[in-house]
């Protein structure tokens, strides 16, 4: 590090300590001017600014080169990430989020103007501040993207769970009405929730109704076979209902062998078949009836 | 092999049904000893059914799967039915994806239903009804 | 003879967790290597892999898939390879995380890899599903084998697929 850079760093550090309030206030106002799309809570912004500037002051007093300061200083890094995540969740645009961090440059430079009038020194300060905050901008953008990805992942997971309800149709009979296109991820979720529900309800039969499924290809048929086999390994049975004529045709044309699986045209037929299967004497069946009648 | 060491897995007899359960900590040698002992016991006790509870297993790999399949085949040759009971959902999914189906092995949701399938009837007084009620 | 699953190519999408060539033991979250020299080791390895999958944030079914695959591969190394080692690496945590298993042995190698990956092929115990089955349970799968020198199997499962 050059002596000049050291001196500039020292000066910035002093400015931060002496004009802490001023810089924070200016930064918050700059942010409010720049981001009009989202209502940001001013109080929250002030808290963020206070924490970040405190961490920055601490970081500058250390030895870490400015270029790496935001990435390696624990508190500083946490501050930027939290600020960016907060905006990502609040629905701010990625540009606004990066700008929020980058406009701290302006606030810092303004503060430096009070410490010196020398052009060369001010230039050195500008270079230092740029180096310092460019990493912060990059970190902020990265965190923002990660935050949004996390939201998308969570939503698609929730959507998957919502779209595959397992309902108890009868004593020891479960039904899974499937609606919409089946892909690998969804079939996995179906398989897991069916098996889980079988264990929870001690179900004897699970009906998978595919009336609402537009098309069945080899992969989907394969997944259905897997589900049926796993259900059988657990000691229950599976009925597939709602195979519409075009799907029956596809299955025949693809040469998929579903002959080992009990299939029924409608959910009603499947339920009748399932009840017949479970009506065979069961352990404690009478006890169940009495319990239910009470 | 003619006089197998007693295996680490207990085998109980209830009427003409042998009841046993597998544990995660079973190593290969013990699994083979267990197979030997179980087939001996089927003959010695004249068992007509074998219930193997696998609800404690958090994984079934191809070795355990083969042990179960072979047990079922041997037991059938000796005139006994084998029911594997209580397989966990995650284990069942993995087993299917592994490409194993335990061909020829009968399954039951839990030990109780397995025992029932083997024709082992409950006594007139049904403790299960009360237990079931109490759980509600 | 080297065979890489097409899934290896797909794995290139995960820029945050690049695949390193087999032989480098340094992973982002540390690596641990276990000997696979006895039956007891097979059980120890399972426990270790289970803990790693929990640490990487996998759900129960995925944990079971990975531990089962590890069990198959470790058994292969023990039975066919005359013993070897299994290395577990946690590649990040949570939705973007994964676990990599590397199983090495200095056994006779696999003369016909395609055949070995086909179900029903076996020279030892098991149902001959070891290699092919483990491959189905993982997202990325690579086998590097030289006759007379040994076999290294690398397998990865990601959390977000």
The answer to whether C95 contacts A150, with C-beta atoms less than 8 Å apart, is yes
Chain C residue whose CA is closest to B90:
C61
User: Quick one: pLDDT at residue C23?
Assistant: 34
The Cα-based distances of C137 to A226, B4, C67, C97, C157 in angstroms read 13, 36, 10, 16, 8
First to last CA, chain A: 84
Q: For C95, which DSSP code?
A: G
Asked whether B106 and B80 are in contact (CB, 8 A), the reply is: no
A166 touches chain B (CB under 8 A): no
* Binding partners of C (≥3 Cβ pairs within 8 A): A, B
Size of interface A-B (CB pairs under 8 A): 84
Asked whether B106 and B73 are in contact (CB, 8 A), the reply is: no
Share of chain C above pLDDT 90, in %: 40
Query: Which residues on adjacent β-strands are paired with residue A176?
Result: A208
Q: What residues in A contact C160, CB-CB < 8 Å?
A: 153
Which segment of A184-198, B32-46, B56-70 scores lowest on mean pLDDT?
A184-198
Q: Is residue B94 part of a domain?
A: yes
C-beta atoms surrounding B29 within 10 Å: 12
ipTM for this model: 0.81
User: Quick one: pLDDT at residue C104?
Assistant: 93
Q: What residues in A contact B101, CB-CB < 8 Å?
A: 229, 233
What is the per-residue pLDDT across A29-40, written as a single tens digit (0 to 9) for each? 888 887 665 667
Q: How many domains does chain B have?
A: 1
Q: Is residue B44 part of a domain?
A: yes
CA distance C98 to B35: 37
User: Quick one: pLDDT at residue A112?
Assistant: 86
Q: Is residue B3 part of a domain?
A: no
Q: What residues in C contact B98, CB-CB < 8 Å?
A: 68, 72, 129, 133-134, 136-137
CA distance A190 to A184: 10
Residue-range domains of chain A with CATH? 3-158 (1.10.490.70), 167-281 (3.30.750.24)
Q: Is residue B130 part of a domain?
A: yes
Q: Is residue B35 part of a domain?
A: yes
Of C61, C160, C161, the CB nearest to A192: C61
User: Quick one: pLDDT at residue A171?
Assistant: 86
What is the per-residue pLDDT across C122-156, written as a single tens digit (0 to 9) for each? 444 444 457 888 998 999 999 998 888 889 999 99
Band the pLDDT of C94: cuts 50, 70, 90. Answer: low
Q: What residues in A contact C61, CB-CB < 8 Å?
A: 192
- Which burial class, exposed, middle or buried, applies to B13 when counting CB atoms under 10 A from its CB (0-12, 13-18, 19+)? middle
CA gyration radius for chain C? Answer: 14
CA gyration radius for chain A? Answer: 32
CA contacts within 13 A on the Cβ side of B87: 32
A150 touches chain C (CB under 8 A): yes
A159 touches chain C (CB under 8 A): no
What is the per-residue pLDDT across C108-124, written as a single tens digit (0 to 9) for each? 888 878 777 776 544 44
Which segment of A161-175, B59-73, B84-98 scores lowest on mean pLDDT?
A161-175
Interface of B with A (CB under 8 A): 84-89, 91-93, 95-97, 101-102, 107-110, 112-116, 122, 126, 128-130, 132-133, 136
SS (H, E, C) A118-175: CHHHHHHHHHHHHHHHHHHHHHHHHHHHHHHHHHHHHHHHHHHHHCCCCEEEECCEEE
CA gyration radius for chain B? Answer: 15
Band the pLDDT of B50: cuts 50, 70, 90. Answer: very high
Chain A residue whose CA is closest to B94:
A230
Whether the predicted pLDDT of B114 surpasses 80: yes
Over residues C27-56, mean pLDDT? 87
C65 touches chain B (CB under 8 A): yes
CA distance B104 to B71: 10
C15 touches chain A (CB under 8 A): no
A183 touches chain C (CB under 8 A): no
CATH class of C2-158: alpha beta
C13 touches chain A (CB under 8 A): no
Chain A residue whose CA is closest to C61:
A192
Over residues B55-77, mean pLDDT? 92
Asked whether A184 and A215 are in contact (CB, 8 A), the reply is: no
CA distance C31 to C52: 10
C83 touches chain B (CB under 8 A): no
What is the per-residue pLDDT across A150-187, written as a single tens digit (0 to 9) for each? 888 788 777 777 777 888 988 899 999 988 887 777 88
Here the CATH number for the domain that contains residue B106 is: 3.30.750.24
Over residues C68-81, mean pLDDT? 92
CA distance A75 to A176: 49
- Mean pLDDT computed over every residue of chain C: 77
User: Quick one: pLDDT at residue C129?
Assistant: 53
pLDDT higher for B122 or C78?
Answer: C78
**Full pLDDT tens readout for chain A, 294 residues:** 567 778 888 888 888 888 888 888 888 888 888 766 566 788 888 888 888 888 888 888 888 888 888 888 888 888 888 888 888 888 788 888 888 888 888 888 888 888 888 888 888 888 888 888 888 888 888 888 888 888 887 887 777 777 778 889 888 999 999 888 877 778 888 889 999 999 999 999 999 999 888 888 878 888 888 899 999 999 999 999 998 888 888 888 877 777 888 899 899 999 999 988 887 544 444 433 333 333
Residue-number span of the structural domain to which B24 is assigned:
11-135
Chain A residue whose CA is closest to C94:
A150
Spatial CA neighbour of B25 closest among C122, C50, C54, A233: C50
In sequence order, what are the residues at sequence separation of 6 or more whose Cβ sits closer than 8 angstroms to the Cβ of residue B46? B16
The whole-angstrom distance between B123's CA and the closest CA on chain A is 11
Of A192, A236, A283, the CB nearest to B93: A192
Q: Is residue B129 part of a domain?
A: yes
The answer to whether A192 contacts B101, with C-beta atoms less than 8 Å apart, is no
The pTM of the full predicted model, rounded to 2 decimals, is: 0.69
CA distance C10 to C16: 13
Domain ranges across chain C: 2-158
Q: Give Cα A10 to chain centroid, integer Å.
A: 42
């Amino acid at each position: 590090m050059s002596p000049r850079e050291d001196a500039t760093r020292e000066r910035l550090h002093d400015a931060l300590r002496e004009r802490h309030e001023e810089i924070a206030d200016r930064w918050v106002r700059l942010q409010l001017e720049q981001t009009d799309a989202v209502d940001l809570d001013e109080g929250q912004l002030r808290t963020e600014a206070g924490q970040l500037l405190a961490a920055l002051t601490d970081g500058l007093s250390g030895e870490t080169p400015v270029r790496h300061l935001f990435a390696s200083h624990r508190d500083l890094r946490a501050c930027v990430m939290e600020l960016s995540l907060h905006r990502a969740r609040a629905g701010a645009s990625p540009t606004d989020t990066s700008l929020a961090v980058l406009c701290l440059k302006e606030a810092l430079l303004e503060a430096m103007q009070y410490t010196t009038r020398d052009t060369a020194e001010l230039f050195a300060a500008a270079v230092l501040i740029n180096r310092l905050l460019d990493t912060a901008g990059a970190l902020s953008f990265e965190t923002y993207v990660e935050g949004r990805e996390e939201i998308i992942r969570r939503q698609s997971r929730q959507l998957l769970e919502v779209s595959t309800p397992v309902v108890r149709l009868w004593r020891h009979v479960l039904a899974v009405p499937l609606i919409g296109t089946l892909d690998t991820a969804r079939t996995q979720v179906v398989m897991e929730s069916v098996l889980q529900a079988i264990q929870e309800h001690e179900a004897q039969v699970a009906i998978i109704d595919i009336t609402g499924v537009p098309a069945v290809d080899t992969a989907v048929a394969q997944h259905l076979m897997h589900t049926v086999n796993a259900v059988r390994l657990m000691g229950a049975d599976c009925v597939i209902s709602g195979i519409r004529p075009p799907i029956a045709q596809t299955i025949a044309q693809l040469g998929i062998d579903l002959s080992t699986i009990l299939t029924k045209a409608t959910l009603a037929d499947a339920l009748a078949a399932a009840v017949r299967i479970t009506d065979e004497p069961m352990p404690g069946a009478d006890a169940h009836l009495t319990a239910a009648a009470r | 092999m003619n006089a197998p060491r007693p295996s680490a897995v207990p085998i109980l007899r209830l009427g003409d049904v042998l009841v046993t359960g597998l544990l995660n900590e079973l190593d290969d040698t013990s699994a083979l000893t267990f197979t030997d002992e179980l087939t001996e016991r089927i003959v010695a006790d004249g068992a007509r059914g074998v219930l193997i509870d696998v609800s404690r297993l958090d994984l079934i790999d191809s070795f355990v799967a083969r042990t179960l399949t072979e047990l079922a085949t041997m037991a059938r040759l000796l005139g006994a039915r084998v029911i594997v009971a209580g397989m966990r959902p995650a284990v069942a999914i993995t087993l299917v994806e592994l490409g194993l189906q335990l061909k020829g092995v009968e399954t039951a949701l839990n030990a109780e239903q397995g025992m029932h399938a083997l024709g082992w009837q409950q006594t007139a007084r049904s403790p299960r009804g009360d237990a079931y009620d109490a759980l509600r | 003879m080297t065979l890489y699953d097409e899934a290896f190519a797909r794995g290139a999408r995960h820029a945050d967790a690049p695949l390193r060539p087999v032989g480098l033991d340094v992973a982002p979250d540390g690596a641990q290597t276990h000997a696979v020299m006895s039956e007891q080791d097979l059980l120890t390895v399972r426990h270790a892999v289970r803990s790693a999958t929990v640490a990487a944030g996998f759900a129960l079914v995925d944990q079971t898939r990975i531990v089962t695959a590890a069990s198959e591969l470790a058994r292969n190394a023990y039975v066919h390879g005359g013993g070897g080692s299994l290395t577990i690496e946690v590649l990040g945590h949570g939705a973007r995380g994964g676990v990599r298993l590397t199983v090495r042995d200095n056994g006779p190698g696999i003369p016909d890899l395609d055949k070995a990956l086909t179900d029903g092929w076996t020279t030892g115990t098991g149902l001959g599903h070891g290699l092919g089955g483990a491959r189905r349970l993982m997202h990325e799968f690579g086998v590097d084998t030289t006759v007379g020198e040994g076999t290294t199997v690398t397998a990865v499962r990601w959390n977000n697929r």
